[in-house]
Structure 1
Amino acid sequence: MNSTSIPRFPGVPDLLLERYLCDELSQEEARHVEEAARVSPALAAHLRERQAEKAAFSVARPFGPVRARLEASRPSRWRGLWRWSPSLLVLGVVLAAVLPRLVTPEAVEKVRVRGGLTARVLVKRGDAVFEQGPGVVLRPGDRVRVEVEDVNGGALYVLALSEHGRVTPLQGFEATGGALSMGPGRWVLPGSLELDAAPEQEALVVVLASDPRSAPSPEAVQRWLEHAARETAFPPSPTPLPGTRHTVHVLPKELP
């Protein structure tokens, strides 16, 4: 797997280019990118390609803000509660005393996880753009992007893992453009990946620390996955790092 998030243009990290394409740079930073593109035909061509790719993804899969849905106000139910009959109120008191014994912390955690961190893979094959779902086999040359969704957000790390145990940092590491974080909601990560013809299966591992202040170091995240990769099964099922959640997304591809 080849990562376009690894800097290829001296002095202009890919993360800076993605922020430029998303109009997130200051005027001074934008001028820096534009001046670099004027003297580098390769960089100028890269920017044109990325602009076309972003436009294709935007048309095929538009993303609206999720926070508004999460924070949407709900009608109050207190007025209806006051109309309950005395017998129902007595039942409510009994349930209030019994339910804490029936609902364990483990059950609450399972419910919370179901609505937690998710990762989707968007694929560009020629002019076609689609989501990589069950039964979809990828091909060498396919370009993929990662969409992450979480109700809290936080510090992000993305790594590639091969079935032979090779771990490759992709996002959130110093060598890939520096720290990466997201807010609550859904976000398509900067950069894209191109699948190569290596005769091995691969997976993407997304790690999220809700509190960036106590997030593990990038080195700790990489060591954690390298240790998990020693398992014989692929993909592995690692125990989460303290203070983090993670998801593993297999990228099944055609093998020679």
Structure 2
Amino acid sequence: MKKFLLSTLIFIFSTFYGAMSMAELKTVSKSFNAPTGIAFDSSGAMYVTNWSGNSVVKIDTKGNKQTVYSNISSPAGIVIDKQDNIYVSSYSDDYILKITANGEAQKISDGYHTPTGIAFSNSGNLLITNRSTGEIVSLNLNSGQKEIIVRGLSTPVGVTQLPDNSLVVSQYSGRLTMIAHNGNKTELGSGFTRPGVGIVTVSPSVVAVIDNGANMVRQIDVKTKKLDTLVSSLSGAVALALYNNHYYIGTWGDGAVYSFNND
């Protein structure tokens, strides 16, 4: 009888907690075609890469939606600099696209190998995950020079840099790897099912990562390896951004972007 009561209480708590977790999610926008990357400009407008729609979509602070660029094959990663220039990786056509604040677009670098997630380094270079060759490439946006800075990864799809210049890379193979400035690698992914494109630095030792295989957003302390689940029951979570103390998640299963507070 006691075991039955305990099991019942655990079930009720789990169901209630799960409902609370989902209730905390706010729907930001819907009707995307496989939202893969999310970034924000200086005005607070959100930009989403529409992977299957071959486009980049803007949602302004009033919720108005606008396609700002189309005819880019499988846009994946996206970042925006302080001048509101937008950078997008074309996964299928192996190049980096730049869209200026006034809407002019040009390919600024090519010759990649399924470039997926991208991020700014601490020095302002663009970090690009070459998924099919297991590399991280650093692109100097001023000179256009490229350098492979990490090799030997397995299907890298997302990257972020910590303040100490270490990189943390999410890999679709199930690995989450930290690469120190001296090249030493530490594996962090034992608690993940399939880390996805979305990965962001939260604090000097903490990153948040999409666990695509588990439909979750998880947070890990890279020093202690303590792993926490921030939100679950997402439908094919892929994209992740952190802006103004809110997380933003793009989900392929229902073509939506959600947000929740970073408490």
Q: TM-score, normalised by structure 2?
A: 0.26
Larger relative contact order (Cα-Cα within 8 Å, sequence gap ≥ 6): 1
Higher strand share: 2
Higher helix share: 1
Q: Report which of the two structures shows the higher radius of gyration computed on alpha carbons.
A: 1
